[in-house]
Structure 1
Amino acid sequence: MADAFSIAIQSMQNDMQRMDIISENVANSATPGYRRALSTNQSFGDVLQSSSLSNVTHSIEITLPTVTSVLDTASGSIKSTSQPLDLAISGDGYFELTTPDGLAYTRAGNFHINEDGHLVSQDGYPVSGKGGDIIVNGKSTPTITPSGEVSDGSTAVGQIRIVSFADKHGLQTRSGGLLVSTNNDAETSDSSAQLQIGFLENANVIPLNEMVSMLETSRHFESQQKLFQGYDEQISSAIQKLGQF
């Protein structure tokens, strides 16, 4: 396949991946605690460095890099809900949840007590405490302090664990806005961040900015289509002229 075709196809595939990332951000713009993904790829210098030169008689073979996503770790705005089990983290850190696929992390603190007395997330995943799951036995709503201590009446039942990562960009977004670590050996530590009770963190997505990025990506995709079609027409024309001889 000609190089121009290869470049156009890879570029259009990259645009489709960017569009998927942008669409996910827009879809979660109202999800509490959601942190948007940013599309990224290698710089031109990195591409040249990774390209191979087999010998001096051959040209350098350059492959366009694929698009990957990284997490935007900027905090979202805080809104008041006045709900005693709605929590927002002030500072760096994430709530830790136990899911069927392993540990996951979130900034969304819209918690509730399930029928078994466990403190769980909106999707029903248990919230990790420093000593395990947090279980409430009483009928009344538990109280939570800014340091994360949970009390059932006058009885302390646990402390919510807030973790931080040495490599914040090693986290990636999964379904439901949950975050997972791409590195199984990622170092975590207990965060000293405080909680705001009766508040939730909004997504750090600005829909208008995402729509502008979507428009730019769409225009770039269209330009690559024109490049592909133009090059195809040139080859067809060349073949026809050769056939006349």
Structure 2
Amino acid sequence: MRDSSLSALFGALSNEMRMSTIANNLANVNTTAYKKDTMAFHDVFTRFAHDNVVTTKSFLRDKDMFPDPNIMAKPRLSEQAVDFTQGGMQKTGNPLDFALSGEGVFRVQAPEGILYQRAGNFAVDVNGTLVNKDGHPIMVDGGQLNIPAGAEVTVDGGGGIYLDGQPAGNLDLVTFDTIGKLERVGSNMFRAPEGAAEQPPEDLTVQQGFLEKGNVEVVTEMVSMIESQRSFAMYAKVMQNSDQMDRKMITQLSRLR
């Protein structure tokens, strides 16, 4: 296989991954507090044996002993992270809707362990427990919060919860050194990577009766989608032309026998 075909193949695969990410972002444009995925690519250079040899001229020769380095670039995914930039606020008036302003997430008690989410569209289940949309308890002071039927729920800017005006606990709000490295687990929730430690958030406030919108910009994503489509088509054309050249060369060589 020609080097051009191989390089074009890696380029096409990279744009396929990029297109999948863009499509997922656009599909969640109306998802509460959705944080878009971002990715970056870089070139990985393929070096030959003579590339690692210093090409100095010999005292006995007037030319270099080794040819100039021939380096082929192949794109690879270098970084994939979640963009936790702030989304817009939407007023709902629901006392169980909470929007976070700043860097931080809610702690959730899921069957597989502690998970995190940015969305604050909560509810009260049949047992009176404060839960997310999947029925997982929202952690308050390291445990669950039971809300009596008919109780008035208020939350201050720091996450303190009051039932009928009486303190009932504080929402577990945390952040990480590199919050963008949180891993998606579905249902708009995240898992902390191995070795990541929770930290108390700074400049994080809770707004009751609001929901945070997703941070996906439709126009930007559409422009990126067009760019990715054109790049994929370009790489596909390179592979097609390279294949035609190979076929032509094989046909011509076979006639020389």
TM-score by length of 1: 0.88
The aligned counterpart of 1:13 is: 13
169, 188, 197: which one aligns with 2:198: 188
Amino acid across the alignment from 2:76: P
Other structure's SS at 1:70 match:
strand
Other structure's SS at 2:94 match:
coil
The aligned counterpart of 1:69 is: 80
124, 129, 151: which one aligns with 2:162: 151
Other structure's SS at 1:65 match:
strand
Q: Which runs of 5+ in 2 are unaligned?
A: 54-65
Deviations 1:169-218 (A, max 9, x none): 2223342222222x221121122522111011100001121111111101
State the percentage of identical aligned residues.
28
Other structure's SS at 1:23 match:
helix
Deviations 1:8-61 (A, max 9, x none): 11111111111111111011110111110112123x4xx34xx55545479667
Other structure's SS at 1:188 match:
coil
Other structure's SS at 2:187 match:
helix
The aligned counterpart of 2:182 is: 171
Other structure's SS at 2:168 match:
strand
Q: CA deviation at 1:144?
A: 2.1
Q: Which runs of 5+ in 1 are unaligned?
A: none
Q: Is 1:114 paired with 2:125?
A: yes
Residues 22, 86 of structure 1: alpha-carbon distance in 2 compared, 3 angstrom cutoff: same
After TM superposition, list the pairs within 5 Å mapping 1:41-120 onto structure 2: 41-42=41-42, 44=43, 47-48=44-45, 54=49, 56=53, 63-66=74-77, 68-120=79-131
Answer whether contact 2:34 2:213 (CA < 8 A) is retained.
Answer: yes
Other structure's SS at 2:199 match:
strand
**Larger radius of gyration between Structure 1 and Structure 2:** 2
Q: Is 1:130 paired with 2:133?
A: no
Answer whether contact 2:11 2:74 (CA < 8 A) is retained.
Answer: no
Other structure's SS at 2:76 match:
coil
Number of matched pairs: 239
